Amino acid sequence: MLNFDTIIGARDAIRLKKISAVELTQQAIARIEAVDGRVRAFNSTCAQRALEQARLVDQGRRGGELAGVPIAVKDNLCTTFGTTTCSSKMLENFHSPYDATVIQKLESAGAVIVGKTNLDEFAMGSSTENSAFGSTRNPWNLNCVPGGSSGGSAAALASGACCGSIGSDTGGSIRQPAALCGVVGLKPTYGRISRYGLVAFASSLDQIGPFGWTVGDAALLLKVMSGHDPKDSTSVPHPVPDYPAEIDRPIKGLRIGVAKEFELTAGMDPHVSSAVDEAMKVYQRMGAQRVDVSLPHTEYGIAAYYVIAPCEASSNLARYDGIHYGHRTKKPVNDIIDLVSHSRAEGFGDEVKRRIMIGTYALSSGYYDAYYVRALQVRTLIKRDFDQAFNQCDVILSATSPTAAFAAGEKTADPLQMYLCDVFTVTCNIAGIAGISLPCGFTPGDQPLPIGLQLLGPTFGEETLLRAARMYESATDWHQRRPALK
């Protein structure tokens, strides 16, 4: 692990000259070389560039709130350095001509980007097994998955290869891998962080967010990345609070909502239920009040999500035809239909093809109203449920995932079982609200696996959400545990 593995710890150590930015970057590069052959969190690294950026920090020519801190970014964020592959053969050799806005913001704050992390192809999946470049493994147990689709970013952090990382969350793709890898993951309100330069999956659901070992780390990354961006039409011109400044101020009379619909979820691991119940008791001992709330349309969340997301994916991925963008077949073809068909068949993996077909079908004539329009109507009802619930409480508490990390290959043959991993997370994206996952326990056994606690907050309620999460973190030590990965 790094000598200073949290973002705030690393930043302060560099400021106090306990370690140089170059030394910390060298540690990160050495750690990647030592463990990533087994974890496979990274699609690519940029060691030479990272060392050059770190050297500028040590020379006083680069500064900011993240000066010298090693950060990993998900490989669906465009960068002018290296490739941006989305873990797909379709974009295997794509070199972006521009940087995503979040990349610009991170580097303006002095962050040292050490590499780009693996993901489920085009961010479609819950286990990071759908990558064209091999599956990522969980640093707590290399026989298990790290979650997905941002599993590479979560595993890179958990393996000690960086101090923080960036992912994207379309239906739980930051929070679920954060839970399975024992780190903190935050999905901000839709529109809080610019999506300019994020390769689109489902444009009305996608949101970029941070991973860190602590809530404070997530708060600092959120502050750096947030803000209005005229390049993104969905970016909201909403004031950005100083999240880290307020985070340690407990919320007096915190009202925590518990939705009966989340408690009745089938397939819930009893160890997960027990850990989440204990987390609620910790809050109550700190003076928080439990409020029973109802989210009556939760049961339709998975069905609505797996109509809306594939429909938008079908539209967004239509551009990858081997002519305008992406992989082009080398097979002999007779006409343009052959060219497009062979290029897309070769370039896309099975899960991406499955979702494109679902989306294309749902958008087709005669089915559009029956599926897509109805899913959008359910979306409105789910958003209304949350609005009403937040009139009664400040945050809503649940498990992040119904189980801890599962064995690699366990669910790949059954897409429906994989989709059900998102049961607690998808409604947050459907409603466009904020959510955070933080460690709240471990499973028993010889190789304990992390369990994640999810807190959901209202639109642009990240400040309250982070303070509530920090309250629990300050009363427990789960966030201090690290995997025994040599």
Q: How far apart are CA 285 and CA 202, in angstroms?
A: 41
Which residue out of 131, 173, 226, 235 is catalytically annotated?
173
Residue 464 has φ and ψ, to the nearest 5°, of -65, -40
Which residue out of 126, 131, 135, 149 is catalytically annotated?
149
Which residue out of 74, 105, 223, 411 is catalytically annotated?
74
Q: Starting at the earlier edge strand, list the strands of the sheet with 184-187.
A: 42-45, 112-117, 70-74, 164-169, 207-212, 184-187, 434-442, 450-457, 395-399, 255-259, 289-293
Active site residue 17: no
- Do 189 and 292 meet the contact criterion of CB atoms below 8 Å apart? no
Active site residue 149: yes
Query: C-alpha 212: how far from its chain's center?
Result: 11
Residue 109: exposure state from Cβ atoms within 10 A (0-12, 13-18, ≥19): buried
Q: How far apart are CA 197 and CA 44, in angstroms?
A: 18
Q: Which of 220, 156, 160 is nearest to 186 (CA)?
A: 220
DSSP conformational letter for 275: H
Q: C-alpha distances in angstroms, 55 versus 25, 192, 321? A: 10, 32, 42
Beta pairing partners, 398: 454
- Angle of CA points 379, 466, 389, to nearest 5°: 35
Q: How far apart are CA 259 and CA 264, in angstroms?
A: 9
Active site residue 365: no
Query: C-alpha 199: how far from its chain's center?
Result: 14
Residue 56 corresponds to which tokens in the numbers above?
């500028």
Q: Residue 436 in 3-state DSSP?
A: strand
Residues acting as catalytic residues: 74, 149, 173
